[in-house]
């Protein structure tokens, strides 16, 4: 991550989900399986770390000397993708959060613009990144693909001066 990026995280650290065989119910907000591919299952959810999103959610600029401040409260959607068509509810149960829900984070970031410079401060969503595997249980529990799931937990701040 470039040295001018700052991560502001207010959410608790990610917890690995309980294996599907030990779960009593899917996470809050998870949907029941509705796909016809009932034989596809998601397994092996693994926390990969955090990543900054690419869609800017806020920006502020100004002439130094001054302190730029961004305060945002945004509903950011969870994101996920898979190389095969597995049900979102099965993915949610594997990674430990609903991949179809949104989370609202309210946070602030600041940066002091040097004297004589024009500065910019921008905010991007911060995600916990999980991977998962997909198995086809109709043919003897065969691995058929995988995917990624991203849960919004805070913001990343980027700043620079010209």
Q: What is the maximum alpha-carbon separation in the chain?
A: 67
Six token digits for residue 101: 């829900």
Averaged pLDDT score across all residues of the chain: 84
Six token digits for residue 54: 């690419």
Q: How does residue 25 score in pLDDT terms, banded at 50, 70 and 90?
A: very low
Q: How does residue 86 score in pLDDT terms, banded at 50, 70 and 90?
A: very high
Q: How does residue 84 score in pLDDT terms, banded at 50, 70 and 90?
A: very high
Q: What is the pLDDT of residue 10?
A: 54
Q: What is the pLDDT of residue 56?
A: 94
Q: What is the pLDDT of residue 139?
A: 80
What number of other Cβ atoms are within 10 A of residue 136's Cβ? 17
136 close to 145: Cβ distance less than 8 angstroms:
no
Query: Could you give all domains of the chain from N- to C-terminal order, each with its CATH number?
Result: 5-19+46-161 (2.170.15.20)
pLDDT greater than 90 at residue 44: yes
pLDDT in tens, 106-152: 999 999 999 999 999 999 999 999 999 999 998 888 999 999 999 99
Element containing residue 91 per DSSP (H, E): helix 88-95
**Where would I find the beta strands (DSSP E) of 64-101?**
66-77, 79-82
Q: What is the pLDDT of residue 23?
A: 39
Q: What is the pLDDT of residue 75?
A: 92
Half-sphere exposure for 97 (CA within 13 Å, toward CB): 24
What number of other Cβ atoms are within 10 A of residue 18's Cβ? 14
Interatomic CA distance for residues 115 and 96, integer angstroms: 47
pTM value is 0.76
pLDDT greater than 60 at residue 88: yes
Q: Provide the 8-state DSSP code for 102.
A: E
pLDDT greater than 70 at residue 30: no
């Amino acid at each position: 991550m470039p040295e001018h990026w700052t991560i502001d995280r207010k959410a608790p650290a990610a917890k690995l989900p309980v294996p599907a065989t030990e779960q009593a119910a899917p996470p809050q907000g998870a949907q029941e399986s509705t796909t016809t591919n009932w034989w596809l299952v998601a397994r092996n959810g693994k926390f990969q770390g955090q990543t900054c999103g690419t869609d800017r959610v806020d920006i502020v600029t100004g002439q130094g000397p001054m302190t730029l401040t961004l305060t945002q409260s945004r509903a950011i959607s969870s994101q996920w993708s898979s190389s095969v068509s597995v049900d979102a509810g099965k993915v949610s149960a594997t990674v430990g959060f609903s991949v179809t829900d949104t989370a609202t984070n309210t946070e602030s970031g600041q940066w002091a613009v040097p004297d004589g410079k024009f500065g910019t401060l921008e905010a991007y969503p911060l995600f916990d990144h999980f991977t998962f595997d997909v198995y086809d249980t109709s043919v003897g529990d065969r691995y058929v693909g995988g995917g990624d799931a991203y849960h919004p937990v805070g913001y990343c701040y980027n700043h620079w001066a010209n």
